[in-house]
Amino acid sequence: MNDFSSPRVPPHSIEAEQSVIGSLLLDNASYLTIAGLLSDHDFYRYDHQLIFRAMKDMATDNKPLDVLTVSEWMKGRFINPQNPYDQRTFFDEIGGLAYLGDLAKDTPSSANVLAYANIVRNYSLKRALIQHCTQSIEQAFAKGSDEETLNCLFETAASGLFNLEQKKEAASKGFIALKQAVETQLQFLSSLKDNDGSTLLGAASGLDALDQQLSGFEDGKVYVIAGRPTMGKTTLGLNLVEGIASSTQGMIAVFSIEMTTGQAVEKMMASQGLVNFSRLRNPWELSDSDWDAVHHGVKKLRGMDIFFDDDSCLSPADIRVRCRRLMRERGKPLAGILIDYVQLMQGSAKQYVNREAEVSAISGEIRALAKDFECPILLLSQLNRSVENRPNKRPVMSDLRESGALEQDAACVLFIYRDDVYYPDSKEKGKAELIITKHRGGQTGTIYCDFIGKHQRFAQQSPKKNKGD
């Protein structure tokens, strides 16, 4: 039986750490083999951390590595350079020149440096796992028992575990040879050679003209859907994920930060059942035929694998953890993610210079999410009020609120414009323009739709009116 009452030494291998350093002293080319795999913090012993940090800095400056050059470099580096009273150098902390000589002499073979480095890294990950779990245990003992605190504890624990898993997986990633990448791309292109344009590269949304213009919603890409309030951002986003869920039979995650799950589902019931939305919100006004339509819509919605999270305080890190958990629980990948909307999110870090910097960080993390989860992300966004002050109120790229990073990180930027929002007597009443101002690798242009407000639905308009650049 294990005795958990006595303190235990964290897992490590002094011999593996010594062999990594010794290999670098014997063969400078060994550094290229392990570059990016290890940091000085992966070493358990403090003196080994200092030696590896010195060797890493020297290798970066293309300086030769041997017992003499490393020792001389370390003699000129102070442990606390900001403290004039602390004159200790790296060299003082490692036991002198003799220890470096012993490391080189006792290394079995520099040819095995990668194996040694993997041992060091694996022990480092185990120590990090122990530290994270210990912190989680301490927090669980210290904090309260209310639901919010419990959820926070679970999220913090899960987020930390995910970050460790990402660190572990990152070590296995590397370059892909051009010849391999070419073969993969050639196979992909060959599969489309008989495509007459009707086969989409991504998932279909049900708005045919939009799907053709974008060639569907492609995996790994971020689609920014932006507009002023009341333009129908949430409605369009929900319409699109309904279509993607139906066409792919895949799983969709909806992060409804602005409204509750119930409010979003009411919109979907109106859209799928073609029920008057105002009466649906006042069910005592529904007729028998309305109820038939409601049940028809509900039947269609039951066939969609869509999951809602309406937490009002979310960061990209939270979304990553919750998506991973959803995929693990359901045993399947995501076919798409909808986030409503980006300005209501908070950054994953604790502090930012300003809100624009925070939104920029959020945008970059969301782009990484799309790539990592290999699915399209529909990211809803508000626009600046400056739109209201122009005679032509159709949005332009500079209207994206708080951050130009949204434009840079998105594969597609789509603006919603409805003339009758500004001009109630407009001849374009009930019409909507989906203005594609950015489409990486594809056409921009305007897609014209009918906006059926009572059914919370964007519907296809005659193809002859749609045009591209």
The backbone torsions φ and ψ at residue 396, rounded to the nearest 5 degrees and listed phi first, read: -130, 170
CA distance 126 to 21: 21
Distance CA 252, CA 334 (A): 6
Please provide the DSSP assignment of 229-247 as one string. Answer: TTS-HHHHHHHHHHHHHHH
| For residue 341, cis peptide bond before it (omega within 30 degrees of 0) | yes
| Catalytic residue chosen out of the listed positions 72, 165, 169, 258 | 258
CB 409 within 8 A of CB 396: no
CA angle in degrees (0–180, nearest 5) for 244-434-199: 45
Closest of 360, 465, 353 to residue 402, by C-alpha: 360
Length of the chain: 469
Cα distances from 67 to residues 40, 103, 110, in angstroms, run: 18, 9, 15
> Does the active-site annotation cover 258?
yes
What is the DSSP secondary structure assignment for residue 453, as one 8-state letter? G
By CB neighbour count within 10 A (0-12 exposed, 13-18 middle, 19+ buried), where does 459 fall?
middle
249 DSSP 8-state letter: -
DSSP labels, 292-345: HHHHHHHHHHHTSEEEEE--SS--HHHHHHHHHHHHHHHTS-EEEEEEE-GGG-
Rounded Cα gap, residues 47 and 53, in angstroms: 10
With tokens 């007597």, the residue in question is 425
Q: Give the CA distances from residue 178 to residues 158, 186, 190, in Å, rounded to whole numbers and listed in that order.
A: 37, 12, 18
Amino acid at 237: G
Residues with catalytic roles: 258
